Amino acid sequence: MPQLVKRAYKYRFYPTPEQADELVRTFGCVRLVYNKALEERTRAYTLEGKRVTYVETSAALTRWKKTPELAFLGEVSSVPLQQALRHLQAAFANFFSRRAKYPIFKSRKKSRGSAEYTRSAFRWRNGRLTLAKMDAPLDIVWSRPLPENSEPSTVTVSRDAAGRWFVSILVEEKISPLPLAGRSVGVDAGIAALATLSTGEKIANPKFERADRRKLARAQRALARKDKGSNSRAKARLRVARVYARVADRRRDFLHKVTTRLVRENQVIAVEDLVVRNMVKNRSLAGAIADAAWRDLRMMLEYKAAWYGRTLVAVDRWFPSSKLCSACGALQESMPLNVREWTCGCGAVHDRDVNAAKNVLAAGLAES
């Protein structure tokens, strides 16, 4: 049975100078409202022990618009400002539920500029999107079509550090499960090989950041030589951001291809339940782990498996997959990282990563 899911389609667009000015003003107002509401809620929580609700912050926003110093908030669409308050409410809900840390202020330099528009703040006609406070539709590059007869429910506009503009369109889409596959696979994430499969296949790690390291270093040296606050420094910072954007785009495209293939070919996919945020604390491996993007790999497998009727099993991170013989089940006392191939007492010769993937698959099938 097809299932109805919410899916976001992201496209690049090219705003006119007037549209860009309007969006930049909106981004600034969104950031200001978020920070001011966070400040008010923090003060109330710290000094009075009071939890401020979304309704109270929304009423405060109305008061702010009536003051002379914040009257400019009324010049942009009110919907992105209200959405900023809803996002802050969600951040506090996650904090009080101990799912996240305390919300932090949005920095003008470090935070990504974005604004979220709900259905009342945009017009969608004949495949053309027009945002509130704008007279003309956005010039969107339709790199892939939206689902037929789909109606956007939410639109998020953003600009990345490289100066590129994107619009993310959220729609409801019917996705049919894939035909049953007669195969299952265990996946062992690594650095030399991005993923080693229980079939014995090793998916090479492209190491995109390392490939562009020389170009990135040259751009960063050029940035360091520029005077702070100068136009040349702004241009040099943009060049650095473009290198990072190229690395991120290539990595994301590669991970999408790998995860889509694994989901299409296998009914059950078993992975290790790695805690990446703890692993990157290792200074020696942090850069390599971040470049491999294990967290993104896991996230893509999760939602694609849910969409297409596959089963993703996360095996306990303390499961001794590397030290266990996949042939006889004997457990080795130790297995240093420099040991890449070993022989069990039963005579089985193991590649460390392939053996771990086989054990992960066996544990995953036992759990599922």
What local confidence, expressed as pLDDT, does residue 108 receive? 83
- Angle among Cα 275, 200, 268 to the nearest 5 degrees reads 60
Q: Are 200 and 350 in contact (CB under 8 A)?
A: no
Tokens (6 digits) for 229: 């606050």
Evaluate if residue 284 carries a pLDDT over 70: no
Please give the Cα distance from 341 to 261 (Å, whole number): 28
Give the DSSP H/E element, type plus range, for residue 170. strand 165-175
Burial class (CB in 10 A: 0-12, 13-18, 19+), 335: middle
Give tens-digit pLDDT for 202-226. 998 888 887 788 888 899 999 899 9
Evaluate if residue 39 carries a pLDDT over 90: yes
What local confidence, expressed as pLDDT, does residue 278 receive? 63
Mean pLDDT of the chain: 91
What local confidence, expressed as pLDDT, does residue 110 receive? 72
Tokens (6 digits) for 84: 């900023």
For residue 266, the cross-strand partners are none
Give the active site residue among 272, 316, 333, 341.
272
Task: Say which DSSP state 351 is in.
Answer: E
Local confidence band at 170 (pLDDT 50, 70, 90 cut-offs): very high
Q: What mean pLDDT is predicted for residues 275-292? A: 68
For residue 12, the cross-strand partners are 141, 166
Amino acid code (one letter) for 160: D
Give the active site residue among 22, 116, 188, 209.
188
CA atoms within 13 A on the CB side of 93: 8
Contacts of 53 by beta carbon, 8 Å cutoff, 6+ apart: 89
Give the active site residue among 22, 116, 209, 353.
353
Contacts of 82 by beta carbon, 8 Å cutoff, 6+ apart: 58, 61
The answer to whether the Cα torsion of 40, 43, 47, 51 is positive or negative is positive
Q: Are 269 and 310 in contact (CB under 8 A)?
A: yes
The CATH number fitting domain 184-204+251-367, selected from 3.10.20, 3.30.420, 3.40.50, 3.10.180 = 3.30.420
Q: What is the CA radius of gyration of the chain?
A: 25
Helices (H), the chain: 17-43, 54-65, 78-96, 208-211, 213-225, 231-265, 276-279, 286-292, 294-307, 352-367
Range in 159-168, 209-218, 273-282, 339-348 with the lowest mean pLDDT = 273-282
Local confidence band at 130 (pLDDT 50, 70, 90 cut-offs): very high
C-beta atoms surrounding 322 within 10 Å = 19
Please give the Cα distance from 152 to 148 (Å, whole number): 12
End-to-end CA distance of the chain: 22
Give tens-digit pLDDT for 72-109. 999 999 999 999 999 999 999 999 899 999 999 998 87
Q: What mean pLDDT is predicted for residues 225-245? A: 90
> Can you give the residue ranges of every domain in the chain?
3-175, 184-204+251-367
Local confidence band at 276 (pLDDT 50, 70, 90 cut-offs): low
Which pTM value belongs to this model?
0.86
Q: What values do phi and psi take at 167, rounded to 5?
A: -130, 130
Give tens-digit pLDDT for 356-366. 999 999 999 99
Q: At 50, is the secondary structure helix, strand, or coil?
A: coil
Please give the Cα distance from 36 to 173 (Å, whole number): 37
Q: At 120, is the secondary structure helix, strand, or coil?
A: helix
Bridge-based pairing of strands 128-131 and 268-272 is unpaired
Query: Has 353 been annotated as catalytic?
Result: yes
Give tens-digit pLDDT for 334-349. 888 888 888 898 988 9
